[in-house]
Structure 1
Amino acid sequence: MSVQIAPAQPGEEEVAERLVLESFPQLFTLLMGSRSTATKLAVLTNLRRCRQDPTAGIVLARVGADAVGVVAYETPAEPSAPLRSRVTALRPLGVLGALRFIVLGRLIITVATPPEHGVYMRNAAIDPAHRGGGIAYALVIEGERMAARAGYQSSTVLVAAPNVPSHRLVAKLGYTEVDRIRRWWRGVLLGEGTFVVYRKAFGDAPGGQDEEGSQ
Structure 2
Amino acid sequence: MPQLWRLTRNRYGRTAYDALARVGLTATVMIEYVATLEGAAFDTDDGSYSVEVCEPARVAPLDAPVDELRPDERVIAALEDGQPRGYCFCSVDTAHEIHPLERTISFDGAYIRRVFVDPDHRNQGLATAVVAEACRRAREQGARRATALVALDNSPSRRLFERHGFDPWRRRRYVRAGPFSHRSTRAV
Normalised TM-score (structure 2): 0.60
Is 1:72 the equivalent of 2:89? Answer: yes
Q: In the alignment, which residue of structure 2 is the partner of 1:124?
A: 115
Cα distance between partner residues in 2 of 1:17 and 1:78: 24
Q: CA deviation at 1:143?
A: 0.4
Runs of 5+ in structure 2 lacking a partner?
1-46, 178-183
Q: Residues 178, 106 of structure 1: CA spacing in aligned structure 2 closer, same or farther, 3 A cutoff?
A: closer
Normalized per residue, the structure richer in helix is 1
Q: CA deviation at 1:183?
A: 2.5
Deviations 1:33-77, CA, capped at 9 Å, x for gaps: xxxxxxxxxxx54554x72x5xx4321101112101001212334
Cα distance between partner residues in 2 of 1:111 and 1:132: 33
- State the number of aligned residues: 137
- 8 Å CA contact 1:68–1:130 kept in 2: the answer is yes
Q: In the alignment, which residue of structure 1 is the partner of 2:59?
A: 16
Q: Residue 2 of structure 1: SS of its match in structure 2?
A: coil
Is 1:180 the equivalent of 2:160? Answer: no
Q: Residue 153 of structure 2: SS of its match in structure 1?
A: coil
AA of the residue aligned to 1:178: W
Runs of 5+ in structure 1 lacking a partner?
22-43, 81-104, 187-193, 199-215
Q: CA deviation at 1:4?
A: 1.2
Cα distance between partner residues in 2 of 1:15 and 1:110: 30
Cα distance between partner residues in 2 of 1:195 and 1:133: 34
Structure ranking higher on relative contact order (CA contacts 8 Å, 6+ apart): 2
Q: CA deviation at 1:106?
A: 4.5
Cα distance between partner residues in 1 of 2:186 and 2:87: 21
Deviations 1:154-207, CA, capped at 9 Å, x for gaps: 000111111112111111111111101112259xxxxxxx99999xxxxxxxxx
Q: Residue 184 of structure 1: SS of its match in structure 2?
A: strand
Q: CA deviation at 1:146?
A: 0.2
Q: Residues 197, 131 of structure 1: CA spacing in aligned structure 2 closer, same or farther, 3 A cutoff?
A: farther
Q: Residue 93 of structure 2: SS of its match in structure 1?
A: coil
- Pick from 74, 80, 84: which aligns with 1:63? 80
Cα distance between partner residues in 1 of 2:127 and 2:185: 19
Cα distance between partner residues in 2 of 1:69 and 1:112: 26
Is 1:169 the equivalent of 2:186? Answer: no
- 8 Å CA contact 1:158–1:195 kept in 2: the answer is no
Q: Residues 173, 20 of structure 1: CA spacing in aligned structure 2 closer, same or farther, 3 A cutoff?
A: farther
Cα distance between partner residues in 2 of 1:197 and 1:69: 31
Q: Residues 107, 65 of structure 1: CA spacing in aligned structure 2 closer, same or farther, 3 A cutoff?
A: closer
Is 1:114 the equivalent of 2:68? Answer: no
- Pick from 143, 146, 150: which aligns with 2:141? 150
Normalised TM-score (structure 1): 0.53
Deviations 1:83-132, CA, capped at 9 Å, x for gaps: xxxxxxxxxxxxxxxxxxxxxx85566775422xx111101111110111
Cα distance between partner residues in 2 of 1:113 and 1:197: 17
